[in-house]
Amino acid sequence: MKTDAHEKQMAEEQQAIHERMGRIKHKLLVLSGKGGVGKSTVAVNLATALAMRGHTVGLLDVDIHGPSVPRLLGLENTSARLEPQGGGPSLLIPVPAAHNIRVMSIAFLLGDRDTAVIWRGPMKYKVIKQFLTDVAWGDLDYLVVDSPPGTGDEPLSVVQLIEDATGAVIVTTPQELAIADVRKCVTFCRQLDLPIVGVIENMSGFVCPSCGEQIDLFKTGGGRKMAEDLGEPFLGSVPFDPQLVEAGDGGTPYVEHFANSAAAKAFAEAVNTIVERTMPGDNRKPTGGDEKTMRIAIPVTEGRLSAHFGHCAQFALIDVKPDQKTIHKTQMMAAPAHEPGLLPRWLAEQGAEMIIAGGMGGRAQGLFQQQNISVVVGAPSEAPDAIVAAYLDGTLETGTNACDH
């Protein structure tokens, strides 16, 4: 039987939730009825893409048994701290991540990251409530909530505690095995009157970096068809990219460090749609919108520009900010097997917008231009970073095209 003291405590906690959540414009729950679909990766990259667009963002990891968000953001060895709030009660301070994203997870409260959390439903409900009442989230445009798979305690607790949640972003992979469970997640949202912002199809196809052929690892189009069948919005398809795994294991936001990739562009388009539906008329662009990142490809052999792009061993893919005349990131990739007409398509798939080469025939230049990749020829055989730096400074001296056939 509930006592007056217990009812008073519940009322105070609900009031605290109203106060904390009232300072957050939009609360987005990232859900999936199936494990292994990359839901946490989607949540982290959506939050990062929102922050890069100029929004203030919080990211709450409510996966109590398997929190992944700290690892994906390079925060796995971080602890949250309590701080007094102007004479009021002390609150947990979210851990800052890239682009000032405010992050909270059970992992920040455990002394050892290998500790297993063995809790039943009531204890999980209590700690999720604390994440909403006892965390100094402050004023946010978006709070992205990464929930564990399924329709159990954690997502149910969040929906019940946040009475004005904006809606759910539902993640699936294309194959029927995943979609069958994700359909239950849609039913879960409908039964709880939680709007569905949209469905994202993750791991939708894979483009082979060697041959350029698209491989449907888990089929493709299943998420779109499910959304259409159920009458729910479709936010887009995110292709599988091994660099997503690399970025996640390295604790770096994929959408920032591989901004020109097909997967990053798919995340950006999904975020554009989310913002259009939740903040109509918002015209903010990604931070650094006036500092556009551009990817330049350099054919490389033995550490220097190769005389002919088709005979190189590697490509240097160099991300630059032309307005600042700075190099942002360089990565080396093995060149695919030599095959007529393959390289322009392959480099376009890697997000290249320009190629600087020593020599290139007219037909090849035309194929690059068809892929919207501009071409500079006659560059000297120097280190790729030096060539790009000279190009940005306007001091790159180009000679005769080493190949005119």
Are 264 and 298 found together in one domain?
no
Residue 252 is assigned to a structural domain of this protein:
yes
Looking at residues 138-166, what average pLDDT do you find?
85
pLDDT of residue 405: 46
SS3 content of the chain, % helix, strand, coil (to 5): 35, 25, 40
Are 16 and 110 found together in one domain?
yes
Are 238 and 347 found together in one domain?
no
Placement of tokens 């009531």 in the chain: 122
Residue 286 is assigned to a structural domain of this protein:
no
pLDDT of residue 235 exceeding 90: yes
- Amino acid at site 93: I
Are 178 and 58 found together in one domain?
yes
Asked whether the whole model's pTM tops 0.85, one would answer no
Are 159 and 196 found together in one domain?
yes
Is-contact 179 38, C-beta < 8 A?
Answer: no
Q: How many angstroms separate the CA atoms of 327 and 336, rounded?
A: 25
- Amino acid at site 374: S
Residue 398 is assigned to a structural domain of this protein:
no
Are 254 and 350 found together in one domain?
no
Closest CA to 45 of 257, 206, 320: 257
The backbone region for 39, taken as left when phi is positive above 0, alpha when psi lies in -120 to 50, beta otherwise, is alpha
Q: Is 400 helix (H, G, I), strand (E, B) or coil?
A: coil
Residue 355 is assigned to a structural domain of this protein:
yes
pLDDT of residue 217: 67
Residue 399 is assigned to a structural domain of this protein:
no
Q: How many angstroms separate the CA atoms of 302 and 399, rounded?
A: 21
Final residue before a domain boundary, out of 278, 308, 339: 278
Q: How many angstroms separate the CA atoms of 325 and 318, rounded?
A: 12
Tell me which residue range forms the domain holding 204: 4-278
| 24: its two tokens | 């957050």
| 281: its two tokens | 């008329």
Domain count within the chain = 2
Are 255 and 162 found together in one domain?
yes
Looking at residues 326-334, what average pLDDT do you find?
85
**What are 400's strand-pairing partners?**
none
Closest CA to 63 of 138, 139, 150: 150
Are 347 and 313 found together in one domain?
yes
Are 227 and 311 found together in one domain?
no
Q: pLDDT band for position 290 (50/70/90)?
A: very low
Are 313 and 258 found together in one domain?
no
Closest CA to 161 of 187, 132, 193: 132
pLDDT of residue 286: 61
Residue 147 is assigned to a structural domain of this protein:
yes
| 161: its two tokens | 């505690």
Q: pLDDT band for position 200 (50/70/90)?
A: very high
Q: 7-32 burial by CB neighbour count: b if 16+ within 10 A, else e? A: eeeeeebeebbeebbeebebbbbbbb
Kindly report the backbone phi and psi dihedral angles of residue 25, in degrees, each rounded to the nearest multiple of 5, phi listed first: -70, -45
Final residue before a domain boundary, out of 278, 302, 335: 278
Are 90 and 166 found together in one domain?
yes
**Three-point CA angle 398, 404, 405, nearest 5°:** 155
Residue 403 is assigned to a structural domain of this protein:
no
Average pLDDT of the residues of the chain: 83
- Amino acid at site 42: V
Q: pLDDT band for position 289 (50/70/90)?
A: very low
Q: CATH number, domain at 107?
A: 3.40.50.300
Residue 35 is assigned to a structural domain of this protein:
yes
Final residue before a domain boundary, out of 225, 246, 278: 278
Q: CATH number, domain at 366?
A: 3.30.420.130
Are 72 and 30 found together in one domain?
yes
Cα 31 to Cα 54, 183, 239, 318, 330: the distances in Å are: 24, 11, 19, 35, 34
pLDDT of residue 402: 55
pLDDT of residue 171 exceeding 90: yes
- The per-residue pLDDT for range 91-150, each reduced to its tens digit, is 889 999 888 899 998 888 876 565 555 555 567 778 788 888 889 999 999 999 998 876
What DSSP character marks residue 108? G
